[in-house]
Amino acid sequence: MRQTTASTCCYCGVGCGVLIEHDGAHIFDVAGDPNHPANFGKLCSKGSTLHLTGDLDARALYPELRLGKGLARARTGWDSALDHAAKVFADTIAEHGPDSVAFYISGQLLTEDYYAFNKLARALVGTNNIDSNSRLCMSSAVVGYKRSLGADAPPCSYEDIELSDCLLIVGSNMAYAHPVLFRRLEEAKAKRPEMKVIVVDPRRTDTCDLADLHLPILPGTDVVLFHGILHILLWEGWIDRDFVEAHTDGFDELKRTVRDYNPAMVAELCGIGIEQLQRCARMIGTAQGFLSLWCMGVNQSTAGSAKNSALINLHLATGHIGKPGAGPFSLTGQPNAMGGRETGSLSNLLPGHREAGNAAHRGEVAAYWGVPALPDTPGLSAIELFEAVRGGKVKALWIACTNPAQSMPDQHSIHETLATCPFVVVQEAFATTETCRYADLLLPAASWGEKEGTVTNSERRVSHVRRAIPAPGEARADWSITCDFARRLEKLIRPGQPSLFAFEDAAALFDEYKLLTQGRDLDLSGLSHALIDRLGPQQWPFPADREQGTPRLYVDGKFPTETGRARFLAEHYQAPKEQREARFPLTLNTGRLRDHWHGMSRTGTAARLFGHVEEALLSMNADDMRRRRLLDGQLVRVRSRRGELLLPVQKDDSLAPGQAFMPMHWGNRFLKGLGVNRLTLPSVDPLSKQPELKHAGIDVEKV
């Protein structure tokens, strides 16, 4: 019988509600959920084709194990698979200590999955070696929010896009990466053409079509631009001095720092006109509601934390925060990167926005979990974690719902690392990912439409992800695999003690987790799966005594810092790690296409989604191609300090001379050589540890 199940799209951080049409065994169709407050019935090309991406040929269906590196994996049962994994992990921990094992998880997991993994790593194994691919995505925004405002909490709502009269979009091709939210912006601009839209991006992307002003700054010069804008705001008196006086610290030092960033110097360093810069500052300085939106162009940088803070400085200086239509608003890349941060799924965090390096926080979580203590050795962030595997310090690695063999920078070295790691477990829905090839144990996971849980989108809204059909083959929900493994492991390393993992379903995990957020900035203690079903998706904080969520933070001008005041950060511009030079004269930028998601494990199974762009191409400015005597479609060799790729080139006048662009989606399956991350570098921001995935020096030559 045909049925409809309301759920949530599994792709980006907009978090759209979807209605799944199915008969209990197969999914026939999807439609936008008109009642979901993120999308009000709209879906983009990816969301609206979800039902076409369930190709069973691509799925991992049964556990598979191999007992030696040179052997092929063979099908096995769940009991033998998880018993074997528990024994290897227990033996490794006994021989080499708890930090000899590690977990690398994903912003695609549900909150309940994340929580199970965190409890497994910190409470049972006793390691902080648990990090997530969110490290590659939002960790600079996390540092930005925490340093400037005191907590990792985007303060705005999507409706602020409709209420703003000046929008600054930085390092985000929203039209492709967050399409439904971009539709909301297009509609708002059509209704109120006087609304000003400024796009800051080295490329002239489709998002720029909506812009009143496009600032094509040179890659990596964001901090110069933000300080230059503040310099003009100060000069013109477009500062909210009452707000600065009442609610912030550090403005005098920042004023001294930005004094040198005069318009002539800023225009030259950023490669834009003085008039463009002044126009931008005027739009911001005279706005009634100034909202900024940003994404990977800001975060994926060795100066990502400084860029975030310099942007937030503009909001604090103008008092545009905590008001309708105003505030700094990071656009989350993955569907549940927010839920990951909430549950502590970066190595330096603990559940409830706590810090692993804070003894009091460790004590609170240990007491709640009923274990003597949590580990105090700092955990490894993504890049450090794979370096530790390469160096032999980490000997057993559990990878869940992510594809580091494609997504990590310096991809070739990651392949070498995975090939030599003594024991690699890959918990995955799709058997076709690059990383599965390195699995000693492959555990089939349920995917979208097949499992229950929650996700938090970019506006802090928690939605219920519902199961419509059973998982194929023997695939199981991620939380269930994790807890089953944990129960077997605790029998070996914590024998005779009551289980920490006696959860019957995802709702039980959520109910335990939510109490760890009580009294914290993200308090979710009033929420449950049942309440979300009754009231609809809700924005945190949602304490137990509330009837509805919180659309906007800091409306009273109080910030969750020790003083209650926000902090200006005064940091100078740092250039990207790899500058252009004679051997590598072009700057490579990487990013998304409209119709694909990450490594295409799902979208790569739907022919319709290749209509927009059929193959991986290197995009270059026409002048750069002419100088190299390159023609459209010609095969070129692209070289960086890490390696080279062969692929066709195309002329793209959205790029300035000296710049090139390549999409992130293609890996081995689609391209001669590895994917774009064969070329990118593993240098990281010193605070966020986020790698510089958007800026590498390259050279291009005809094959």
Can you give the binding site for ligand SF4, defined by CB under 6 A? 9, 11-12, 14-16, 39, 43-44, 46-47, 178-180
Number of neighbours of residue 209 by Cβ within 10 angstroms:
12
Beta partners for 442? 64, 426
Nearer to ligand SF4, 39 or 205 (CB): 39
* Burial (CB count <10 Å: 0-12, 13-18, 19+), residue 359: exposed
Locate all alpha helices (DSSP H) within 399-477, ordered by sequence: 404-407, 411-420
CB of 137 to ligand SF4, least distance (A): 14
Nearer to ligand SF4, 180 or 266 (CB): 180
CB of 528 to ligand SF4, least distance (A): 23
CB of 446 to ligand SF4, least distance (A): 19
Nearer to ligand SF4, 12 or 121 (CB): 12
Distances (CA, A) of 468 to 2, 22, 67, 696: 11, 7, 36, 43
CB of 113 to ligand SF4, least distance (A): 18
CB of 50 to ligand SF4, least distance (A): 8
CB of 503 to ligand SF4, least distance (A): 27
Nearer to ligand SF4, 127 or 463 (CB): 463
CB of 411 to ligand SF4, least distance (A): 25
Nearer to ligand SF4, 9 or 645 (CB): 9
Nearer to ligand SF4, 267 or 609 (CB): 609
CB of 44 to ligand SF4, least distance (A): 3
Residue 634 and residue 619: Cα distance in Å, rounded? 12
Nearest 10 degrees: CA dihedral of 578, 583, 585, 590?
Answer: -50
Residue 411 and residue 419: Cα distance in Å, rounded? 12
Nearer to ligand SF4, 179 or 541 (CB): 179
Residue of 205, 228, 334, 343 lying closest to 279 (CA atoms): 228
Secondary structure element (H or E) that encloses residue 176, with its range: helix 174-177
Question: For residue 24, which amino acid is it?
Answer: G
CB of 336 to ligand SF4, least distance (A): 11
Cβ-contact 511, 435 below 8 angstroms? no
Nearer to ligand SF4, 293 or 647 (CB): 293
Residue 52 and residue 49: Cα distance in Å, rounded? 5
Backbone angles phi, psi at 437, to 5 degrees: -60, -25
Nearer to ligand SF4, 15 or 541 (CB): 15
Nearer to ligand SF4, 15 or 453 (CB): 15
Cβ-contact 271, 589 below 8 angstroms? no
CB of 17 to ligand SF4, least distance (A): 9
Nearer to ligand SF4, 16 or 396 (CB): 16
Residue 37 and residue 35: Cα distance in Å, rounded? 6
CB of 108 to ligand SF4, least distance (A): 12
Number of neighbours of residue 314 by Cβ within 10 angstroms:
22
**Chain residue at closest Cβ approach to ligand SF4:** 47
Cβ-contact 418, 403 below 8 angstroms? no
> What would the two tokens of residue 590 be?
């990487």
Distances (CA, A) of 538 to 33, 461, 526, 591, 689: 15, 5, 10, 31, 31
Nearest 10 degrees: CA dihedral of 671, 673, 679, 685?
Answer: 80
